[in-house]
Structures are given as C-alpha cells and as structure tokens.
Amino acid sequence: MVELIFGQVLWFAADPMAEGASAARHERRGAVAIEEGRIADVGTADDLRARYPQATMTDMGDKLLSAGFIDTHVHYPQTAIIASWGKRLIDWLNTYTFPEEMRFADPAYAAAVASTYFDLALAHGTTSMCSYATIHPASVEAFFAEAQARGLRALAGRTCMDRDTAPEGLRDTAQAAYDESKALLEHWHGRDRLSYVITPRFSPTSTPDQLLALGSLWAEHPDCLMQTHLSEQVDEIAWVKSLYPQARDYLDTYETFGLLGENGVYGHAIHLEPREVARLREVGAGLAHCPTSNTFIGSGLFDAAGLAGAGLRVGLATDTGGGSNFSMLRTMAAAYEVAQLRGVALHPAQLWYLATTGAARLLRIEERVGNLAPGMEADLIALDLASTPVIAQRVARAEDFWESLFPTIMMGDDRAISAVWVAGQRQV
Ligand code: GUN
Ligand code: ZN
C-alpha cells in the first residue's frame, strides 16, 4: 500500500557545505511516496499522482516536508536539568549533572525520563538521536527499550567514568566499563533500528586503563561508533594537560589509547590545535557541533564552515542539558549566530543539511535516514513555515524559498512541527 504525502519538499542531492545551496532541491508542489516504512519516490505532486493512482493521499498543503531532524549528541539523562543557571563546564557537571545522573541507578526513574525525553524529541521533529546514557546499564536499557517501542532509529551508550574526578556513586572500573559496555553492545547493537555507541565520557573522568579497555572494545567492534567530548572549554583543556602530562594535546589522550578513528564522534571540538585538526581529518573522524550548549556554558565558537570546508564530517547537536533547547531549529539558529561571530553567514541550506543529511553522515546512518530519497527509511516531518504571527508576517515578505524558510530556522520551535512520521507511521 502506497501513501502519498503532498507538500513542499526539501532534500539534498549533494553537500551544501562543499557546494553551496545548489546542493539542495526544493519542490514547491511536491510529494513523497511511502511504502512499507520506506520512501518509494520523491517528485512533483503531478508526477507522483500519475505514477501511484491507487495510493492513499495525505495533503499537507503548503507545509514543508523534510527528513526528520537528527540530534548527533544529546544527554537524555540531563533532560530534567536543562537550563540550570550560572555555571561553567566543570562546576556545571559537579553541581547539576552528576547529582542528577546518580538518580539513574533507579530503573523506574530512568524509564520515566526516557519516556519524557522521547516525547520532547518527537514533538520537536527529532526522529533520530545519538545519546549518552549514564554509568548505569539500566539507563541504557531504558533508552533503547523506549526507542524500540516507538520504532525509532536511535543510538546510545553507557557513559564510562572510573577516575576519582567523578563522584563516588558514578564511578566504575576499567574492567566493569569494558564488561558492561560489551554486554549492552552485544544485546542492543543492530537490534531493530538501534545501535550501540562506545562512550567514554571524556578523558578527565577516565583513567588511562579505562580508555585503553574501551579502545580494545572498539577494536573488537570497529563498526560501532565511539563518542566522547573534546576541547570544549579552555579550563577543561588545562585540566586534561595536568592529568595527562605526556599527551601532545587533548586528542592525543584518545589517540594513545585506541580511541581515535573514522567512526569516532567528537563532541564540541572548539579549541583545536592544528595537529588535532590534521589528525581528525587524516583518520576521517567526525565532529558534533553543539551551539546552544557552547553559548550557554560559555565554551566558545566552533568553526563549522572551516572544519566542514576542510572535509570533516560535521553534524548539529543539542547537547541537552548542557544545551538549552530540544529544538534542532533553535540549534540551527545558534549555529548561524556562532558562525556570524566568526564572520561567516551559513546558508539556510547548510544549516538544514547539518541537522539532517550531514548529521546522518556523521553518525554513519546516511544510507538509511537523514534525506528524502527512494529506499530511505520514511522518517520525515512536515513544517509550518508560518507557525507564529511574527514568523508569518516575515514570510509574507519572502521573495524565494530560502527567505521563507529562514524565519522558521531563526524563530521556530515545536509549534512549527505539524507532523512527524517514523518509518512511515504518523506519530505527531
Ligand atoms: N563534558 C563531559 N561531560 C559533559 C556533559 O555532560 N556535558 C557537556 N556539555 N560537556 C561534557
Ligand atoms: Zn555532551
């Protein structure tokens, strides 16, 4: 049974970070054909109506159909502490984050927050995400069970910390990190639409032994992603230098222990040394850009245009609760603002790509989600490009499609998300 959804359609034929806005495709009167949870066709409304005369029809009018958003770095356990006031990274972790993460020892609490998190993500049009859990296996179970029940393509891992820089109650050992990560990986990786991600939190909260153990696990499962944090804040980098005096730089603390590779996803990556950029490029590693977090925690200005321009895969991320929003629209707006402060105006096509197709490339799921193309899984959203009075009055002046989209990027939120489909099933 084919379903045709009509609306404006936006998709990517190439990478606009490399080729500019011409890499994007927009169909003013378009349609997407869905069959058995996958996209069967994308084209003009007239062509698809003629090609699928028996299809059921859903007319979204003027709404914009796009691939669902993909959040490439989020901490679902921090949902309840979003927007906590007044701290920079290390204090923020100690004051707000670690006490909250301790609560995930209780599987019922983990399940409740996972449910809230996925409700919020879907309401904001985010259909895939790569999350950190906590040190507790139950926090990973809760995330995957909830994602599985909702049919989502989702990625996550147990956040490992064994150093006394992390509080009692949130510490494991090198061996426990290896064993429990491995058991979770073997259970969940590749099950339905789920993937396990090897997750050392960051080098300041792990001993060299733990980094080495997780490097070994990654070497045994090189198809898994590995996620961690890198060069987020200047104080943090000084801390890493004091804890790892032999290291050439922050990245070296991962490289030395087998935690640098093409399936590595490094969050933040703001204050990089030239050697770090060169090595990340050389190995084909990817970067998660978390702009609302970087301004909220006061971390710095990520060089999206420069790093993507150098050929690194970059995707956008909320980093909630360090990030201050669940919305990938607000995240695109912050990426625009951060780039402006570096003297670059990212094009709306580039911002949209970083939240969809580029994010999928970062997470190595671009063959499945992140774009509208035949064969892809049917995770898509319909956006109202006039969702509030202030956006509507600006769009009334728009002279082309990009000008009609940009106000929603800059000012839109969950009110702009009119519909969400996951594997072809309407959710919102
Ligand atoms: N660095 C290590 N852990 C975290 C975290 O939970 N959030 C952010 N923003 N940075 C981190
Ligand atoms: Zn993070």
Tens of pLDDT, residues 7-57:
999 999 999 999 999 999 999 999 999 999 999 999 999 999 999 999 999
Among protein residues, the one whose CA lies closest to atom 9 of ligand 1: 322
pLDDT at 400: 98
CA distance linking residue 135 with residue 144, whole number of Å: 15
| Nearest atom (ligand 1) to Cα of 323 | 9
How far, in Å, is the centroid of ligand 1 from the Cα of 97? 8
pLDDT at 164: 97
CA distance linking residue 20 with residue 17, whole number of Å: 6
Average pLDDT over residues 181-192: 98
pLDDT at 93: 97
pLDDT tens digit string along 99-132?
A: 999 999 999 999 999 999 999 999 999 999 999 9
Among protein residues, the one whose CA lies closest to atom 11 of ligand 1: 229
- For residues 356 and 375, membership in a common domain is answered with no
Mutate which of 78, 89, 250 for ligand 1? The one with the most ligand atoms within 8 Å of its CB, which is 89
- For residues 61 and 110, membership in a common domain is answered with no
The ligand whose atoms approach the alpha carbon of 266 most closely is 2
Q: 333, 409 in Cβ contact below 8 A?
A: yes
| Residue 417, domain CATH | 2.30.40.10
CA distance linking residue 398 with residue 406, whole number of Å: 9
Asked which of 362, 389, 404 is the last residue of a domain, the reply is 362
- For residues 165 and 266, membership in a common domain is answered with yes
CA distance linking residue 325 with residue 138, whole number of Å: 25
The encoded tokens of residue 417 equal 């998300």
Counting Cα atoms < 13 Å in the Cβ hemisphere of 173 gives 3
Mutate which of 81, 201, 228, 318 for ligand 1? The one with the most ligand atoms within 8 Å of its CB, which is 201
With a CB cutoff of 8 Å and minimum separation 6, the contacts of 413 are: 124, 325, 327, 329, 330, 387
Q: 315, 362 in Cβ contact below 8 A?
A: yes
- For residues 257 and 404, membership in a common domain is answered with no
How far, in Å, is the centroid of ligand 1 from the Cα of 89? 7
pLDDT at 180: 98
The encoded tokens of residue 355 equal 């939240």
Average pLDDT over residues 215-228: 98
Mutate which of 96, 131, 231, 232 for ligand 1? The one with the most ligand atoms within 8 Å of its CB, which is 232
List residues bridging with 12 in a β-sheet: 24
pLDDT tens digit string along 251-273?
A: 999 999 999 999 999 999 999 99
Task: Fill in the amino acid letter for 7.
Answer: G
Q: Is the whole model's pTM more than 0.95, yes or no?
A: yes
- For residues 240 and 383, membership in a common domain is answered with no
| Residue 186, domain CATH | 3.20.20.140
Sequence length of the chain is 428
Average pLDDT value over all residues in the chain? 98
Mutate which of 72, 73, 74, 75 for ligand 1? The one with the most ligand atoms within 8 Å of its CB, which is 75
Among protein residues, the one whose CA lies closest to atom 3 of ligand 1: 201
Average pLDDT over residues 369-378: 98
CA distance linking residue 41 with residue 31, whole number of Å: 8
Nearest Cα to 82, choosing from 108, 125, 121, 129?
121
- For residues 269 and 381, membership in a common domain is answered with no
Average pLDDT over residues 205-227: 98
- For residues 94 and 61, membership in a common domain is answered with no
- For residues 266 and 217, membership in a common domain is answered with yes
How far, in Å, is the centroid of ligand 2 from the Cα of 267? 6
pLDDT at 336: 99
Total tally of structural domains belonging to the chain: 2
| Nearest atom (ligand 1) to Cα of 297 | 9
Asked which of 362, 378, 406 is the last residue of a domain, the reply is 362
CA distance linking residue 412 with residue 208, whole number of Å: 44
The ligand whose atoms approach the alpha carbon of 89 most closely is 1
Average pLDDT over residues 289-304: 98
Residue 238: strand, helix, or coil: helix
Among protein residues, the one whose CA lies closest to atom 7 of ligand 1: 322
Confidence bin at 163 (pLDDT 50/70/90): very high
- For residues 106 and 253, membership in a common domain is answered with yes
Among protein residues, the one whose CA lies closest to atom 1 of ligand 1: 229
Residue 313: strand, helix, or coil: strand
Pocket residues: Cβ below 6 A from ligand 1: 75, 89, 93, 97, 201-202, 229, 232, 293, 297, 319, 322
- For residues 352 and 264, membership in a common domain is answered with yes
CA distance linking residue 267 with residue 280, whole number of Å: 12
CA distances (Å), origin 333, targets 50, 120, 316, 336, 404:
39, 19, 11, 5, 15
| Nearest atom (ligand 1) to Cα of 290 | 9
Asked which of 331, 362, 393 is the last residue of a domain, the reply is 362
How far, in Å, is the centroid of ligand 2 from the Cα of 279? 22
Among protein residues, the one whose CA lies closest to atom 8 of ligand 1: 322
What ipTM describes this predicted complex?
0.99
- For residues 141 and 243, membership in a common domain is answered with yes
Phi/psi at 375 (5° precision) = 95, -20
Domain span at residue 37 reads: 2-68+370-426
What share of the chain in percent tops pLDDT 90? Answer: 100
pLDDT at 294: 98
The ligand whose atoms approach the alpha carbon of 321 most closely is 1
- For residues 52 and 154, membership in a common domain is answered with no
* H/E segment holding residue 77: none
The encoded tokens of residue 24 equal 């994007």
| Nearest atom (ligand 1) to Cα of 202 | 2
Average pLDDT over residues 329-345: 98
